[in-house]
Amino acid sequence: MGLREFTSPPLTLAPTVGGLADVVFERAQEDPLHIALGRKDESGQWRDVTSAEFRDEVMALAKGLLARGVRFGDRVAIMSRTRYEWTVFDFALWTIGAQVVPIYPTSSAEQCFWMLYDSECTAAIVEHEDHAMTIATVIDRLPQLHQLWQLDNDCLHQLYDAGAHLDDDVVHRHRQAITPDSVATIIYTSGTTGRPKGCVITHGSFMYESDTVIQRWEPVFHTKKGDEASTLLFLPLAHVFGRMVEVATIRGGVRLGHQPQLNAAALLPDLQAFRPTFILAVPYIFEKVFNASRRKAEKEGKSGPFEKAVDVAVKYADAVEAKAWGIGPGPSAGLRMQHQLFDKLVYSKVRAAMGGRIRNAMSGGSGMDRRLGLFFAGAGVQIYEGYGLTESTAAATANPPERTRYGTVGQPIPGVTVHIADDGEIWLHGQNIFQCYLNNQKATDETLHDGWLATGDLGSLDDDGYLTITGRKKEILVTSGGKSVSPGLLEERVRDHPLVNQCIVVGNDRPYVAALVTLDQEAVEHWLQMRGKPQMGPAQLVRDADLETEVRRAVVAANTLVSQAESIRTFRILAQPFTEEHGLLTPSLKLKRKAIENAYANEVEALYQA
């Protein structure tokens, strides 16, 4: 039956004094030579940044911001990819009590306008000229925006010079005025529907969230006990997950590096150069690492052994999990021997592709397939899956270090309560819950109820308090026959096929469920090559009978999870993927369902013309 409510007792008290920037000055005082960050120089080499060096940069920038008129309580936007300078700006702005408004680097002019206008930003930092031009197109409608600084135009050193005449005491007076109730940031939800809403998050919520994660999951940060923990951050800093990682690493003394590009071609070389001890990512990254390993094995003619290695890893991790829960004896002697063999032949290469030192990782943002989680665990990289929202300052639940339950998003993090409402909606309560939506009392009242956050997600708790996400309240489809269908499970299983990039299930007010599918271009090129087929353009590909058979297999596999009335009856392969540029994905890569159905209205209609 499962539980209706589960609370994990707190490990740390809610902070009563101070703000996020205090730790920068405290760490530099206690251990000035501690390596706080890694930073790439002009030649592409990683160099160390000590706690004292980082403090001095934060102090110099804080002075420059004050000299240029940024005041306590002012809102300042940052529009950039994930890079070192963003972290310096975050902590400098927090030092003087300013509120940071992160903007995704891919945002359109209208999206930028809305966030800058709604938050009444007085200044903005952009990465390069294209971002500056984007904001320039709407600047006439932003009378409150007085200053624009550009990272690629060396604005850091310009601001250092501007504030050089100020005394440290001026900065410290600002810093000492900050309390846990002071607003740290306003993060706009990427929003699959409607205008983004500005989540107001305090210094206290961020400190409580990050300190809880550090205390509970600290063993996960290391390759082996006693080594120096380090992580490479490639999640967008405009997203709450990336921001929590930034704060937690600085507070936890974990060496932090930044990587601005999420694609495998740029990310994998930096993982190998930086050699982090753990990473935090979204399932998409782990899928990419797995698929790249599989394609490499196929190219080398080792497809059979690789698939056998995958099977052994999954069975091994499954047996380890069963033993941890007291429902099995653990891996058999034969399985242990096979596992040892494949560790040398296959798993060590998967770990090497991620830098060689990673033994643990945390995953959030969307659900991870249970089999994928088992494979990585069997290959020597334990992935701790969690769940959270912008409104919960990132993680609200996560699998604990001692006992992972694959396919779930774990138990509430310490100090958080999860409640399942009568309609299956997940409600959250704890010190990490946001304050309100900026300038939007109606949305605040709909979401916050006496400190409880109504998430809009559907889920269930098992008898041990582990949460499973079953869908989105607003995404439930109801067919014309009255059958309710949660599309997420079907879409995830179709996406498990290596050739599939995206899948959207349709069927609201229709006689049956159908799907639109996009292809993974890299995987398709490899598939054609391995079968001796000529490379084809998108229009030819979608009509290829063999390719259609492969996708049909994925659909059939997904249909085994549901009843006949909920199954995908027919599908169409699309020539182009859904992209953020075309307004079909949010910046965190979630499908904008209504936008996709409108953009592909003819294709959806054709699914019901049979």
Q: What integer is the mean pLDDT of 324-328?
A: 94
pLDDT of res. 42:
87
Asked whether residue 191 carries a pLDDT value surpassing 70, the answer given is no
Asked whether residue 48 carries a pLDDT value surpassing 60, the answer given is yes
What does the alpha-carbon distance between residue 190 and residue 49 come to, in Å, rounded to a whole number? 33
Q: What tokens were used for 239?
A: 């997203």
Identify whether the C-beta of residue 477 lies closer than 8 Å to the C-beta of residue 513: yes
Average confidence score pLDDT of the chain: 94
pLDDT of res. 254:
97
Banded model confidence at residue 141, pLDDT cuts 50, 70, 90: very high
Tens digits of residue pLDDT in 150-161: 999 999 999 999
Banded model confidence at residue 263, pLDDT cuts 50, 70, 90: confident
Identify whether the C-beta of residue 80 lies closer than 8 Å to the C-beta of residue 105: yes
3-state secondary structure labels for all residues of 179-208: CCCCEEEEEECCCCCCCCCEEEEEHHHHHH
Asked whether residue 218 carries a pLDDT value surpassing 60, the answer given is yes
What does the alpha-carbon distance between residue 235 and residue 122 come to, in Å, rounded to a whole number? 27
Task: Tell me 534's DSSP state.
Answer: P
Asked whether residue 275 carries a pLDDT value surpassing 90, the answer given is yes
Higher pLDDT, 206 or 582: 206
Higher pLDDT, 28 or 473: 28
Banded model confidence at residue 512, pLDDT cuts 50, 70, 90: very high
Angle separating helix axes 264-274 and 283-299, nearest 10 degrees: 90
CATH class of 476-607: alpha beta
Percent of the chain past pLDDT 70, that is, above it, reads 99
Model pTM score: 0.89
pLDDT of res. 265:
79
Angle separating helix axes 109-118 and 129-136, nearest 10 degrees: 70
Q: What integer is the mean pLDDT of 365-383?
A: 92
Tens digits of residue pLDDT in 440-461: 999 999 999 999 999 999 999 9
Tens digits of residue pLDDT in 340-349: 999 999 999 9
What residue ranges do the domains of the chain occupy? 476-607
What does the alpha-carbon distance between residue 364 and residue 370 come to, in Å, rounded to a whole number? 14
Strand partners, 186: 200
Identify whether the C-beta of residue 27 lies closer than 8 Å to the C-beta of residue 34: yes
Cα 523-524-530 angle, rounded to 5 deg: 90
Q: What integer is the mean pLDDT of 503-529?
A: 93
Q: What integer is the mean pLDDT of 38-58?
A: 95
Residue 180, Cα to own-chain centre: how many angstroms? 25
Identify whether the C-beta of residue 583 lies closer than 8 Å to the C-beta of residue 592: yes
Q: What is the DSSP string of 66-110?
A: HHTT--TT-EEEEE--S-HHHHHHHHHHHHTT-EEEEE-TT--HH
Strand partners, 411: 398
Banded model confidence at residue 1, pLDDT cuts 50, 70, 90: low
What does the alpha-carbon distance between residue 96 and residue 21 come to, in Å, rounded to a whole number? 9
pLDDT of res. 153:
96
Higher pLDDT, 399 or 106: 399
pLDDT of res. 369:
86
pLDDT of res. 221:
94
Which of 137-141, 478-482, 558-562 is modeled with the greatest confidence?
137-141
